[in-house]
Amino acid sequence: MSDDTAPPAPAADAAETPSAGERIAKRLGRAGLCSRRDAERWITEGRVAVNGRVLTSPALVVGPGDRIVVDGKPLAEPEPPRLWRYHKPAGLVTTARDEKGRPTVFDRLPSELPRVISVGRLDLTTEGLLLLTNDGEVARYLELPSTGWARRYRVRVHGAVEPARLASLARGPTIDGVRYGPIEAALDREQGSNAWLTVTLREGKNREIRKVMESLALTVNRLIRVAYGPFQLGKLPEGAVEEIPRRVLKDQLALFFGAAPQPAAPTAVATPVPGSSHAHRRR
């Protein structure tokens, strides 16, 4: 399961600079208010005005001199893109507001953090690395299947693990009519009736790991994301947030920033992971 449940976004646009103008939905996304899709919905709901005129369509290009108001509040000029690592504990939902009143990731973030949105999602019981950003376009770029970044998980399962069946997942399983992409799954160690696996995938369909393991007669009883592309959980304490240095961000997102890509390097040092007999990397 990649608990990255955000819906797939369209392909990334070529870089647009504020001086050249940008679409209003993209401008709202860059401000970290919401996704482009949500921004378009807000516009059709009459929540956005530009230069005193309430918009009814997202088909508008705005420039730096335009005055944008959302829900009666002026929109601040966008800050440079920033990215944080967050060690999500189990028991939090990855949403700004929960209709069931459950605690959210955003309820627990430090008050000094600016407005941020998550890169994809982790479900209620999943732990580990969740990336946060102040820029909706960064989030959108990192969620694109075409970006191709691997998500790596430590998975504890209950049941008898058959290594040959795990290896077959590399061909991309089909479960209940849903086709999943290739999944790398390896047995690390067994502990009585439980076992620890390392699972790597690149797509991120809803509850993907859990569903795939169920198809192998295995029950997931702990799920920890330890890496998202080059960014790794490492020794980051549970509930802690740490900003990724801008130099590292620009190196790893070179295509997003319009620069020549540099070779990806792990942003972590070796550190043990719960239940593992080997080390994982830390940013």
Q: What is the per-residue pLDDT across 237-264, written as a single tens digit (0 to 9) for each? A: 999 999 999 999 999 998 888 754 444 4
Residue found by looking up tokens 């047995």 in the block? 187
CA distance 37 to 39: 5
Which helix (H) or strand (E) segment holds residue 138: the answer is helix 136-143
Residue type for 79, please? E
| Alpha-carbon distances of 163 from 24, 62, 254, 257, rounded to whole Å | 50, 55, 38, 41
123 a catalytic residue: yes
> What structural domains and CATH numbers belong to the chain?
18-74 (3.10.290.10), 83-147+234-281 (3.30.70.580), 151-228 (3.30.2350.10)
Question: Alpha helix locations (H) across 17-78?
Answer: 24-30, 36-44
DSSP codes of every residue in 145-212: GGG---EEEEEEEES---HHHHHHGGG--EETTEE----EEEEEEEETTEEEEEEEESS--TTHHHHH
What does pTM read for this prediction? 0.74
Here the tokens at position 136 are: 């909706």
Per-residue confidence (pLDDT) for residue 7, from 0 to 100: 38
CA distance 257 to 132: 18
CA 96 to chain centre: 14
Which of 38, 66, 123, 188 is catalytic? The answer is: 123
Which residue ranges in the chain fall short of pLDDT 50?
A: 1-2, 4-19, 260-283
In contact, 29 and 39? CB cutoff 8 Å: yes
CA 116 to chain centre: 12
